[in-house]
Structure 1
């Protein structure tokens, strides 16, 4: 059982506390800014800065994770985030709110979270046995989803105790994560040669991206994920618009979104078992067709509980896909390229998310909820057909595809 692995448990626990803190502050940033300034635009600017850091720094962060000791990278990121968050705590404690200070901290937290997450992801392969790898990533998926689920109500509750309380809590969560790292015995990477000159960072980025695109199965799956993530962002907006059009309250909207989060957490709990029973081909094709069938049901489901169950099923499938595909990719990727390859994959998979939000917003304004969900359904069917007819996906993905 992977949770009996001392080093993995320490890595998992520290990251769990840190992820909960990040989830809390993510919810609190817009609430604090709206309360202090009354401006939704200001809240949007801060959110955009945090998102921009996440997208823009993926590739250089991947190089850092592959060049330097991953434990030290995580320690620097934890302590850097703790200092930045503590500065907001001190400022708010003494009544010194400044919008650009908070915006800068949001950017710094987002920027340092990228290499921390990549280093943690890459380190898992070195602290668990190959037999424990799928279970380990299943635990990580469950941890991250549970942190998001818990952080959503916890953030506003802490904010109610004082504007500075959530930021103190998040800063302390980073300190706890850093302390946990100090007690892990196993190295976070295989032995490597001395790092190359920093002047070759662009070449390193290209090397990681080129390796990923030479693996046909991995290339196909990351493109499919990018497409589905774009559509799911538009779907979330469409579901919210459907509920608001039907005069449902904000609390009812929150309840429906929470149901989706619960579905994802349950999916993460069961993902390792499901992947052990199904071929990777079955997971990839089955997930896409399941989504293609479930998405139009969000339009047909008028009862809140039925809609919540449909969304929970949609999100339930995500962790099963993530763990199956991620473990396959991480098992094949050379240790010295883990950071760069993961960064390239994440950029392709999550880069389309802002476009999905824009697409959903414009479609809802122009053609309304019904036709927007119809367009999203058509997109999901197209992805499912692509997964079904792509030759490399139809081949059993068990052989090593590493190209020289």
Structure 2
């Protein structure tokens, strides 16, 4: 088997997204810092966070059929260009002292919309770029890409924000445009032709929902992912406020999230090598219990450095979950349905994020950062218990056997 890095189109796609992901982490770190520096309100920061994640709730479901129907290459390119140009309005607003929370909400909403379309198009296109036997490795490399960007982007975002509030957003805007250039060089066809005439949009979206609902293992997995996504989305803002209350500077907060990203990067590297050693049940149950055990420690941590190390342990196990689940989906789900199935799943798993961001702002306002940490810890404990007793997860087949059985069925057709 040839090295994945000899696959020209995968290397181009991956490399361009390294740049874009790094820029995204830079601005993601700087955005709550900018809101808190501008208004001093955790609730405003929660509103901006909710606006940025709202597209996951309202756009994922219709985006899936469109990703299967439209030209995926053009979706990828348009998402990068629109996202970059939109973000570049922020530094100009800062320089002219015209920035408002309303503008920030609009900018992050459009960014989130581009993220939804790009993410679904990339997920659906990946099986067309790499052979099935290298799909898990490619997904692990993408995990490492995102985690590595978090490792470098978080401290860089805090540092650049300390230099000038506009700089992180200028850097991110330019990174989008650089990634768009890499996409122009792709050669491969990124989708299979549809098997028949296009369905109405609502019926096509319902096809993805029916597929997800009919697969008990995928359905149970998505519910658990939704809970953990909500917890960690809320935790991001909680940690910013908690670290700030303990005297952390913007650079210190960036370092804290950099440690968080380092754990994710190490986890992504490990996941690419060890994912075949774990069953579905072992991954889904075990990781939830790891998170349930670690989150309460954040309330007891005495410094941002300690919080970053605890966050790194949380992030270390996350990539294994993603590699196992999304490899299963990429192999089992027919590619012509993959965009719709991914969008249905993303509606469940990412659609909770705007509510989580708002909840974080409210919890911080009502009971403070320590109370918020304990509340999120209780939610995570409930998810771990639910994973342990779930009939669908308890009866899940080993991952390797499931993929072999699926491949055999396809070969027989």
User: The TM-score by the shorter chain falls in which range?
Assistant: 0.7 to 0.9
Q: Secondary structure at the match of 1:196?
A: coil
Task: Flag the 1:194–1:92 CA change in 2: closer, same or farther, 3 A.
Answer: farther
- Aligned-pair CA distance for 1:8: 0.6
For residues 245-269 of structure 1, the C-alpha deviation after alignment (integer angstroms, 9 at most, x for no partner) is: 6x44346555443322221121111
1:393 pairs with 2:393 = yes
Partner of 1:222: 222
Farther off after superposition, 122-131 or 82-91 = 82-91
State yes or no: 1:140 paired with 2:142. yes
- Preserved contact between residue 259 and residue 312 of structure 1 (Cα < 8 Å): yes
Instruction: Choose from 96, 118, 121 the match for 1:119.
Output: 121
| TM-fit CA distance, 1:217 | 0.5
| Alignment counterpart, residue 79 of structure 2, candidates 77, 80, 84 | 77
Q: How does 1:320-359 map to 2 (within 5 A)?
A: 320-359=320-359
Aligned pair 1:154/2:153, yes or no? no
Map 1:152-231 to 2 at 5 A: 152-158=154-160, 165-193=167-195, 196=198, 200-231=200-231
Q: Which moved more, 1:361-370 or 1:224-233?
A: 361-370
- Hey, what's the Cα distance between the residues in 2 that align with 1:151 and 1:305? 17
Q: Unaligned regions of 5+ residues in structure 1, if any?
A: none
Where does 1:172-321 land on structure 2 (aligned, <5 Å)? 172-193=174-195, 196=198, 200-235=200-235, 247-250=246-249, 254-302=254-302, 307-321=307-321
What is the correspondence of 1:2-21 to structure 2 with a 5 Å cutoff? 2-21=4-23
Shift of 1:344: 1.6
Aligned to 1:24: 26
The answer for the alignment partner of 1:68 in structure 2 is 70
Q: C-alpha separation between the residues in 2 aligned to 1:304 and 1:160?
A: 17
| Residues 293, 30 of structure 1: alpha-carbon distance in 2 compared, 3 angstrom cutoff | closer
Contact map agreement 2:16 2:178 (CA 8 A) in 1? yes
Task: Indicate if the aligned counterparts of 2:50 and 2:356 stay in contact, CA closer than 8 A.
Answer: no
| Cα distance in 2, alignment partners of residues 306 and 374 from structure 1 | 17
Aligned partners of 2:369 and 2:169: how far apart in 1?
37
Aligned-pair CA distance for 1:13: 0.9
Distance, in Å, in 1 between the alignment partners of 2:58 and 2:48 is 15
Structure ranking higher on relative contact order (CA contacts 8 Å, 6+ apart): 2
Distance verdict in 2 for CA 1:308–1:51, change over 3 Å = closer
Offset of 1:137 from its aligned partner?
0.7
RMSD: 3.4
Distance in 1, Cα, partners of 2:49 & 2:28: 9
Once residues 316 and 64 of structure 1 are traced to their aligned partners in structure 2, the CA distance between those partners, rounded to angstroms, is 34
Cα separation, partners in 2 of 1:365 and 1:48, compared to 1, 3 Å:
closer
Name stretches of at least 5 consecutive residues in structure 2 with no aligned partner: none
Residue deviations 1:357-378, cap 9 Å, x none?
4555656666677766555444
Summarize deviations over 1:297-348 as a string: whole Å, max 9, x none: 4345557655543322112111111111111112212112222211221221
